[in-house]
A and B are shown apart, each in its own frame.
Chain A
Amino acid sequence: MFSRILASTIIAASAATSYGQQRPSLEGLPEILRLAVSRADSLRYTGVRVVNVRARGAQRETVEYITRDGDRIRIDFPNDSAFSGQVIIEDPTERRHYLPGQNEVRVLPPRRGESLLRLVASLARFRQERKVSVENGSLIAGRLTRLLLVADQRGNPLQKLYIDPTTGAVLKSEVYDFVGTSVGSYEFKSIEFKDKIDSRLFKVSRKGLRTVSPQTEANELTTKLNLRQIQIPREFGFRLESARVIRPEGEPILAQMFSSNTGRLTVFQTRADLKSDRLSKFARGEISTRTWRVGGINFAVVGPKSTNFDRVADRLKRDLGGQ
């Protein structure tokens, strides 16, 4: 847990510094990283990538078929995947996740640019605390790469990006915690760059599809659980990404995840006992927490340490009638 907190703090803390900043400055960054960022919205390819993520001791692996046309991306899944039949289509304005089994499409905020932009924001902010080096990378998906290594001051790796120097595509990415264990990674197993991608691939037409937004989902859950509806005003730049119950047994806890261009925060509400000092203890001072209680419901906001977090928490508390 400790190492996981540290790893995500790198991301979260760096993100906290640049809320509302669409494109962090690329000045002073290695040429290969500038290439990757500048080409991010113009690449065209199809490929297969394997994503590995470790969470709470469990390793999850998914295989994704990627079709990318500039700032649009389509993700399909193999027939033997638990997500077979589902399709994700994302453009700069929204992300649409098709669930044929339920005949639903879930409309979400776009997420594609998050990881690269956060890295750039982190490097800009923690220029003194981070060491960035470039060396020859390995052969990924049949292409020789350049390895961009981001490390702490002692040289411990925090993130590795394997970038194709010809196209600027990030073919492999690994994120590490502070004890050097991989928190997660993705790697392209094959990739084929294209001059043109059929634009029909980014349209899904199914009659009778039910459109579900995270807000719809959140509203249904808050009604069902007799909890409060939560909205972060647009001026803060956060959009609701998902809402789910994280402890189905006993007293339920509703978790609502919000994302902005460069940061993520989670708002919880529950009728279960909640101790503010224990929450702070688990956060270890590396992420921000705020709690309050109104009408028998305990609220908690967890997010990156930043003044913007404080503003959001203050506003939510005020809107919900907290003292």
Chain B
Amino acid sequence: MKNENQLDEKLASDSMKSIAKLVKDLPEEIPSMNWRSQLNERILAEAKPKPKLELQRWLLRPALGLGLAAALAVAFVIRPVASDATGSSVESLMIATHQDDVNYASVTGAGLSVSEMKDYSSPTPVSDPLLDLDVF
């Protein structure tokens, strides 16, 4: 409350009144219609989409062209890994099962086959500990 009174007193002083009068006497500037029209035209020009020709030039830049060619090669020339071949469709499962069997046989020889690895992986105690030779 005390601060407010002090502020009111300062605003009512002669020096502040003269400043207020100076500001009040300043001429009011109204933007001309001509100026506003020019501004609108500039805004419209800036908002227009870039011409198609410019976009085409950009697309045909060498680096982009190479990138596009590589992408097309990956998509159509290089045979990609079939994404659904790794899924669980009946057909992909059949091919994968056959391939696994052939691969395992080519590597393991007389060792465990793929079906043996999957079906028989349950350890069995080798011997009864009481029958260890150390016991006797």
Contact = CB atoms under 8 A, between A and B. Distances in A.
Interface in A176-219: 183-186
A73 interface: yes
Contact of A242 (B89, B113, B123): B113
B97 A85 contact: no
Nearest to A8: B102
A85 to B, nearest CB: 3
A257 B101 contact: yes
A57 B96 CA distance: 11
A186 B107 CA distance: 7
Nearest to B116: A97
Contact of B117 (A60, A253, A302): A60
Given A1-B81, A101-B124, A278-B89, A51 B107 contact: yes
A55 B100 contact: yes
Contact of A302 (B81, B95, B122): B95
A110 B113 CA distance: 12
A138 interface: no
B123 A85 contact: yes
Contact of B104 (A55, A90, A275): A55
A77 B86 CA distance: 32
Contacts of A156: none
A12 B100 CA distance: 12
Interface string A10-25: 0110000000000000
A153 to B, nearest CB: 19
A281 B126 CA distance: 47
A173 B81 contact: no
Contacts of B82: 1-2, 281-282
B99 A75 contact: no
Contacts of B111: 49, 51, 62, 64, 75, 88, 186
Q: Interface size for chain B: under 10, 10 to 19, 20 to 34, or 35 or more residues?
A: 35 or more
Nearest to B108: A51
A44 interface: no
A101 B122 contact: yes
B110 interface: yes
- Find the residue from A5, A185, A259 having the highest chain B CB count within 10 A: A5
A270 B92 contact: no
B38 interface: no
Interface string B70-103: 0000000001111001101111111111111111
B112 interface: yes
B97 A246 contact: yes
Interface stretch (A28-36, A112-120, A123-131): A112-120
Given A282-B95, A302-B95, A73 B121 contact: no
A303 interface: yes
Contacts of A259: 105
Contacts of B102: 8, 11-12, 264
Contact of B114 (A55, A75, A300): A55
29 contacts: A1-B96, A2-B82, A2-B85, A4-B100, A5-B99, A11-B102, A49-B111, A53-B107, A56-B100, A57-B86, A64-B111, A81-B123, A84-B126, A88-B110, A97-B116, A99-B124, A114-B106, A183-B106, A183-B107, A241-B113, A244-B119, A264-B101, A270-B90, A275-B91, A282-B91, A282-B92, A284-B79, A302-B95, A303-B98
Interface of A: 1-5, 7-8, 11-12, 49, 51, 53-57, 60, 62, 64, 73, 75, 79, 81-86, 88, 90, 95, 97, 99-101, 110-116, 118, 173, 175, 183-186, 241-242, 244, 246-247, 253, 255, 257, 259, 264-266, 268, 270, 272-275, 278-279, 281-284, 287, 289, 300, 302-303
- Sorted nearest first, the 8 A-B pairs with minimum C-beta distance are A85-B124, A184-B107, A112-B110, A84-B123, A82-B121, A242-B115, A278-B91, A8-B102
